[in-house]
Amino acid sequence: MKYRNVLVSLGIIVFILVSCTPVVAPTPTPVPVPTIHPVSPVTGLPEGSDGYPWWNDTVFYEIFVRSFYDSDGDGIGDFNGIIEKLDYLNDGDPATHQDLGITGIWLMPINPSPSYHGYDVTNYQAVNPEYGTMEDFKRLVDECHARSIRVIIDLVLNHTSSRHAWFVAAQDPASPYRDYYIWAETRPEYYGPWGQNVWYRRPSGYYYALFWEHMPDLNYANPQVTLSMENAIAFWLTETGVDGFRLDAARHLIEDGADQENTPATHLWYGGFRLFYKNLNPAAVTVGEIWDDTGSVSEYIQGDELDLAFEFNLAEAFIASANQGNAYSATGQVRLSYRLLPDLQFATFLTNHDIDRVYSQLGADPDKARVAASLLLTAPGVPFIYYGEELGMQGTGAHENIRRPMQWSAERTAGFSTDFPWISLGPDWETNNVASETADPDSLLSHYRMLIQLRNDHAALRVGDLRTITTLNPGVYSILRVSQEEAVMVIINLTSEPVSDYRLTLENSALVSGTYLALPLLGTGTFTDLTALTSGGFSNYIPLEEIPPYATIILQLQIK
């Protein structure tokens, strides 16, 4: 690996020197239309409950390959490192409970890139050599599938690296790649959505780059760009067996002058995109990064565009309620998300690689972190966990600080590598790590494992409908989830004090009228029966005399 890194570095130096010389335009070559060869379903992977797609039965885990586990001692995580740690994520045996229990993985960009993060791609049909070979990656996908773990990868559709061969050629106005990007002879008089400069000068004109001068935006008004991306999509679905894509910067795909987000042309393009990838693999999933309000998110999943989109407003609400000890934010937003985003087709999370880590936002308070996890993993939608979130990893400020090495143990380099990691370790790695938390039943890791296991075991927590329950106490959050065969009630005390002055009331639900036993799936105590009215509602129900501080109670309701 070390010799390969030297060769890669020399290659980058040569490429930079070449890119500074006058560009000779390549001979125009039309991009071939991809041949459609539908993908056969992977035998043994779950299909979905109650008629929902497989992803509604999935708990995803976001991995930054560079920071997960280094298998060859060069300080950089790699594909083989993930393979070595798969048993931590899911050992493939439902009867064991020492693994985390996740059933999906999202890999941040794995393509070649000059940047550590990979979001400026230089080749859409190759892997970053620092992470391993294409054969290593294919083996990772196979090993995941053998454990009933599906794999999705980041697809950076919006822009390329300025070192991509397309952009190097595009600087010549006569090049067939010129129209792969957005150019202007004089600088347009407008800025980006958050007031940033988006126009950068080269000798042959100004080019548009929404995020950074070294990430020039692709021009999807040019059909050749779409065909090039379809070739890449076909490669990953048919040649490697990935199960779908996370779409970076999805709302910024096509600009209309100064209108640079959520344009009609963007929505129209995703309609055609969906037809293409569903023809290749009807079971493939797309989840869009739509960093916007819930109403805007809904526009991407109401029709035939994306399968899922991340619900940022709900993530913020969960953290706010956990921080404030008040259910108002979480209750209001989960109800709104459920109403506006159809059929549970939205992705839930707490934080990701662009946001200060949740443990840091919660003041490194393990009790608050536990209730935040409970809010996430009992909610409707498809949950995503950012690697290390289950341990209490911390990180704020610069993105590099949020993407530090996984904390495996209290050994040197936190058990991540035998060499110095590519970046320093985060705070509290000697205590907040897999080894120290695995055997502790009260650890944050144990709490995540228990919640994921319950979600995997109970369809109501995955695909049940939602009713928010009035609690008459701002410190108590409560919901009812009812699937075709099961009803589950969730009660979370968000405060540091025991709560006894609460009464649960619900106007209507899918419960049939009658008396229900309240059987604890999580939590201890003597629980009283619930009486459901003709409407399926109930009034002034007190299942437990006192709810302990920061307690999560999950009750299965069984009619007598």
Catalytic residues: 248, 289
Asked whether 452 and 377 are in contact (CB, 8 A), the reply is yes
Which residues, 6 or more positions from 4, have their beta carbon under 8 angstroms from its beta carbon? 129
DSSP 109: P
Q: How far apart are CA 337 and CA 381, in angstroms?
A: 9
Specify the 3-state DSSP secondary structure of 153: strand
> Which tokens belong to 449?
């494992």
Asked whether 244 and 286 are in contact (CB, 8 A), the reply is yes
Q: Tokens 């040197």 — which residue?
A: 412
Q: How far apart are CA 60 and CA 244, in angstroms?
A: 12
Q: How far apart are CA 33 and CA 28, in angstroms?
A: 15
Residue 174 neighbours by CB distance under 10 Å: 11
DSSP 240: I
* Angle (CA) 478 558 505, round 5°: 30
Q: How far apart are CA 560 and CA 557, in angstroms?
A: 9
Asked whether 406 and 68 are in contact (CB, 8 A), the reply is yes
- Quick one: which of 393, 387, 306 has its CA closest to 346? 306
Helices (H), 211-251: 223-235
Sign of the Cα pseudo-torsion (168, 174, 178, 182, in order): positive
Asked whether 119 and 156 are in contact (CB, 8 A), the reply is yes
Residue 14 neighbours by CB distance under 10 Å: 10
Q: How far apart are CA 88 and CA 438, in angstroms?
A: 10
Residue 536 region by backbone torsions, left for phi larger than 0, else alpha for psi between -120 and 50, else beta: left
Classify strands 382-386 and 60-63 as parallel, antiparallel or unpaired: parallel
Torsion angles phi and psi, residue 10, rounded to 5: -60, -40
Range 431-439 contact pairs with CB under 8 angstroms and sequence separation of 24 or more = 432/359, 432/391, 432/392, 432/393, 432/394, 432/407, 433/391, 433/407, 433/408, 433/409, 434/88, 434/391, 434/407, 434/408, 434/409, 435/408, 435/409, 435/410, 436/409, 436/410, 437/391, 438/98
